Chains A and B, each alone.
Chain A
């Protein structure tokens, strides 16, 4: 089943747009990545804007001794590059002295650090020597290079070369993508029941547990935005298992099935193992299908989760996607998803936000998935919205989260009905 070929055989028209993009930069990935890898620290080398973004995105988390910070570039750092490197060394030494529990330090590039061509990869190598016991890596989360979840891709891709070499012929499964611990544990239990013995995760929960990788490793992508990470793994001889992404009963089944097939698991055994979870997922979805069936939905681009989510909402809940915007479309990784998506859905890649908003207004969708900068303004225009960032922060993968995922889309519509008695235009500020 060469899915890339199948997709090429049935090309879908894709609207490509360039213009103003209303999206987060890759730095935002730090907010969930630092929760996942418990002994990692993320040091952004950037401007006050970068620090302000992290603070705005992290909300109250900023106050819980978070494991991220910004080294703010000041005027004197811009005067000469040598200076900036010394400054960085000073900041890192200070930081590691304050936080001795840190075992993995990411120097995260930003727009300013990239434009002034501060070489953070050399800085990481240099600092690795002077700071024994701490692995120091570098990736870019800048807006000029990455959009929102692509920050995770860049981070994981930077981890791949640091992964130890697996013994040859060792057959092992790697789950790629940061998942909430509860979801990761559910998947591990399912793989164990299926009889797949060695399952690793990238990222791991602790730096010392970096997975061994090698030609015996096959990997499943748990998230659709991991193009560079997949490439880096393939460069180390690992094999990607194409599949639907594990959203909803169908997506999760297909995703598990890809691994079961790769490990030669008996079909009957596979069905027996997934049956209870699959049935639970379907039961949980029924309740929401009543509310969501027949409703139209419009996705503004944000996280690259849009295509798999539209597939889930269309196929398992009966919604009608009008336009599915994605910041970037990885044709090969998305091949199965594109085939499973109903005909007639406009897929758009990139954004010209004002023109796209014109299309939203013209289509008057029942539900618009968009960022927080657009959600309230669209609600004021009378459109119901679902703010998209929640889809990245909440546990939504797998059988037992299928109902929760559907509920995230149903809730704004339920609320709309409940507060329908309120006057439509209260005074605005």
Chain B
């Protein structure tokens, strides 16, 4: 048994729901106890969908246990078929139904419905949500794709690609699809089918008409694109176009697959100039800790390091299936990869890293809040505010703009930081004065709240009054780091107490 409060991923049947809900004309009959319908609200509330997910639950109760549940499953499937007239149906069991040994596959087969019925094997006690989504999409593709279709001859037409991987409840999937479609269009490639998001079973049938596949999110698309390569000979892209460098690489890769010359288009993004402008100088070497799903974490590390000039001090992911990618990337930045689904381990790693910015999921947002470190969200799981109304892709050149704004805003910008430092002893800008936009009075509290931590006596040694006063002159948002560095330095040197001199010795030491 594993003691858990927070889980980065839901159970695998939620992954299957993400695929079914993304598609049109597919219905999911899920053998599950009463109560499992809670998952509906992830889609209706977090993603704000205006339709119920296309899922029928058998919602069996204790009194149904026994021979009854198999009949319950069949009548639920029959009713769902009659009511929703889907073009294809997927059937499966949630964790509890997995234990009661009804066989949704056999039961559905026996019903002989006049549509394809795809049975899912999703081991709930060993696998999780991403696996569920990936496996479901793969099974749908495998069953529904017409294996005899070949792309039409290339003469007189533009190359065509399928966009594979976007699902319901995916972090920025909606806008990434728009952005990648635009990108492909600009280099002369048409999009054949986007799947699962917005696709019908009929769309899946004609996947073979495309010349190649774009594997947008390996977490959901990898199994399917590999099968398509093996079966239909469709090549697929390995680069996920998040960030300027990756987007350029992606363009080159697509051109290779499409047989087009690589265009020498400059990046259609403000991000490179924004990053080069002098106000961004202060971003240099900012220590950043990155955690999320493997795809987004690896992409974020590249952007952080090579496009924003940050120093990556931590990199990890929660999905073991793609841990290898993270391990390889971690080598590039000389950090220890963190592969865990235990948020307490992530919290410890963040605290130990002394980072100045956290890029992560909803969970890291809360950890960072507790540790008073700036943070931006780069990956699922996310809450409702990260399904925004405005266009906010992560991919392509517009995605790079979005990333620049999102990551930089939580940091104090250069000019602002400079002014704060310059005026730190000014009556209006000292810590006790609070922010001017809060009227200068009510704001003292939050700063004061943080003080007990700072003012606590240090063991061994402890701060002299003079050194403590000097420490208080350092702007509050870097003071914690200064305190930690100084104490670490004092401990290393075995100093009995921390004096003014120790403070500046430590500063010199860490400035190296």
Q: Provide the residues of chain A in CB contact with B2, threshold 8 Å.
A: 71-72, 74
Q: Is the CB of B52 within 8 A of A377?
A: yes
Selecting from A52-60, A181-189, A206-214, the interface stretch reads: A52-60
Q: Provide the residues of chain A in CB contact with B36, threshold 8 Å.
A: 25, 49, 143
Supposing A20-B76, A374-B52 touch, asked if A48 and B11 sit within 8 A by C-beta, the answer is yes
Interface residues on B, range: 35 or more
Residue of B4, B61, B124 near A69 (CB, 8 A) is B4
Cα A87 to Cα B3 with chains together (Å)? 10
Q: Provide the residues of chain B in CB contact with A45, threshold 8 Å.
A: 1
Selecting from B42-50, B283-291, B316-324, B463-471, the interface stretch reads: B42-50
User: In B83-102, which residues have CB < 8 Å from any A CB?
Assistant: 83, 94-96, 99-100
Of listed B45, B59, B62, B99, residue having the most chain A CB within 10 A: B59
Q: Is the CB of A48 within 8 A of B5?
A: no
Q: Provide the residues of chain B in CB contact with A19, threshold 8 Å.
A: 59, 79
Q: Provide the residues of chain B in CB contact with A47, threshold 8 Å.
A: 11, 95-96, 124-125
At the interface, yes or no: A235 with Cβ under 8 Å from chain B?
Answer: no
Cα A22 to Cα B1 with chains together (Å)? 29
Interface size on A, residues (CB 8 A): 64
- Chain A residue at smallest Cβ distance from B40: A373
Residue of A69, A143, A147, A376 near B44 (CB, 8 A) is A376
At the interface, yes or no: A84 with Cβ under 8 Å from chain B?
Answer: yes
Q: Provide the residues of chain B in CB contact with A26, threshold 8 Å.
A: 35
Q: Is the CB of A56 within 8 A of B49?
A: no
Supposing A25-B35, A115-B99 touch, asked if A62 and B6 sit within 8 A by C-beta, the answer is yes
Q: Provide the residues of chain B in CB contact with A22, threshold 8 Å.
A: 37, 40
Cα A142 to Cα B125 with chains together (Å)? 17
User: Do most interface residues of chain B lie in helix, strand or loop, or is the interface mixed?
Assistant: mixed
* Residue interface mask A274-309, B partner, CB < 8 A = 1: 000000000000000000000000000000000000
Q: Is the CB of B41 within 8 A of A380?
A: no
Q: Is the CB of A88 within 8 A of B1?
A: yes
Cα A23 to Cα B40 with chains together (Å)? 10
At the interface, yes or no: A51 with Cβ under 8 Å from chain B?
Answer: yes
Residue of A49, A63, A94, A380 near B51 (CB, 8 A) is A380
Residue of A75, A112, A145, A377 near B50 (CB, 8 A) is A377
- Chain A residue at smallest Cβ distance from B381: A55
Q: Is the CB of A53 within 8 A of B35?
A: yes
Supposing A74-B125, A116-B99, A373-B44 touch, asked if A144 and B60 sit within 8 A by C-beta, the answer is yes
Q: Provide the residues of chain A in CB contact with B58, threshold 8 Å.
A: 20
Supposing A77-B1, A429-B48 touch, asked if A373 and B37 sit within 8 A by C-beta, the answer is yes
Q: Provide the residues of chain B in CB contact with A115, threshold 8 Å.
A: 65, 96, 99-100
At the interface, yes or no: B134 with Cβ under 8 Å from chain A?
Answer: no
Q: Is the CB of A69 within 8 A of B35?
A: no
Q: Is the CB of A55 within 8 A of B7?
A: yes
Q: Is the CB of A49 within 8 A of B11?
A: yes
Q: Is the CB of A144 within 8 A of B10?
A: no
Q: Is the CB of A372 within 8 A of B126?
A: no
At the interface, yes or no: B272 with Cβ under 8 Å from chain A?
Answer: no
Cα A374 to Cα B487 with chains together (Å)? 55
CB distance from A74 to the nearest CB of B (A): 6
At the interface, yes or no: B33 with Cβ under 8 Å from chain A?
Answer: yes
At the interface, yes or no: B57 with Cβ under 8 Å from chain A?
Answer: yes
Q: Is the CB of A372 within 8 A of B41?
A: yes
Cα A377 to Cα B21 with chains together (Å)? 13
Cα A95 to Cα B51 with chains together (Å)? 41
At the interface, yes or no: A341 with Cβ under 8 Å from chain B?
Answer: no
Q: Provide the residues of chain A in CB contact with B57, threshold 8 Å.
A: 20
Q: Provide the residues of chain A in CB contact with B9, threshold 8 Å.
A: 48
Q: Is the CB of A56 within 8 A of B34?
A: no
Q: Provide the residues of chain A in CB contact with B45, threshold 8 Å.
A: 372, 376
User: In B421-463, which residues have CB < 8 Å from any A CB?
Assistant: none
At the interface, yes or no: A78 with Cβ under 8 Å from chain B?
Answer: yes
CB distance from B94 to the nearest CB of A (A): 6
Q: Is the CB of B79 within 8 A of A354?
A: yes
Cα A26 to Cα B61 with chains together (Å)? 12
At the interface, yes or no: B238 with Cβ under 8 Å from chain A?
Answer: no
Q: Provide the residues of chain B in CB contact with A60, threshold 8 Å.
A: 366, 383
Of listed A21, A116, A374, residue having the most chain B CB within 10 A: A21
Q: Provide the residues of chain B in CB contact with A164, threshold 8 Å.
A: none
Q: Is the CB of A429 within 8 A of B1?
A: no
Of listed B47, B56, B57, B96, residue having the most chain A CB within 10 A: B96
Cα A57 to Cα B10 with chains together (Å)? 13
Of listed B45, B47, B363, residue having the most chain A CB within 10 A: B45
Supposing A48-B11, A112-B96 touch, asked if A56 and B42 sit within 8 A by C-beta, the answer is yes
Q: Provide the residues of chain B in CB contact with A23, threshold 8 Å.
A: 34-35, 37
* Residue interface mask B209-222, A partner, CB < 8 A = 1: 00000000000000
At the interface, yes or no: B242 with Cβ under 8 Å from chain A?
Answer: no
Q: Is the CB of B10 within 8 A of A91?
A: no
At the interface, yes or no: B273 with Cβ under 8 Å from chain A?
Answer: no
At the interface, yes or no: B182 with Cβ under 8 Å from chain A?
Answer: no
Residue of B33, B42, B124, B366 near A63 (CB, 8 A) is B366
- Chain B residue at smallest Cβ distance from A77: B1
CB distance from B118 to the nearest CB of A (A): 21
Of listed A142, A143, A145, residue having the most chain B CB within 10 A: A143
At the interface, yes or no: B14 with Cβ under 8 Å from chain A?
Answer: yes
Listed from nearest, the 9 A-B pairs whose CB atoms lie closest are A25-B35, A143-B35, A373-B40, A380-B50, A111-B96, A47-B95, A63-B366, A372-B41, A143-B33
Q: Identify 18 residue pairs between A and B in the complex whose beta-carbon atoms are under 8 Å apart, listed by A's number.
A: A25-B34, A48-B4, A48-B7, A52-B39, A57-B38, A71-B4, A77-B125, A90-B1, A91-B3, A115-B100, A144-B62, A145-B62, A372-B44, A372-B45, A373-B44, A377-B44, A379-B50, A429-B50
Q: Known pairs A52-B14, A68-B5, A373-B37; list 10 more (Cβ under 8 Å).
A: A19-B59, A20-B37, A56-B41, A71-B3, A90-B1, A142-B33, A143-B33, A376-B44, A429-B47, A429-B48
> Which chain B residues have a beta carbon within 8 Å of chain A's beta carbons?
1-7, 9-11, 13-14, 33-42, 44-45, 47-52, 56-62, 64-65, 76, 79, 83, 94-96, 99-100, 123-126, 128, 174, 363, 366, 370, 383
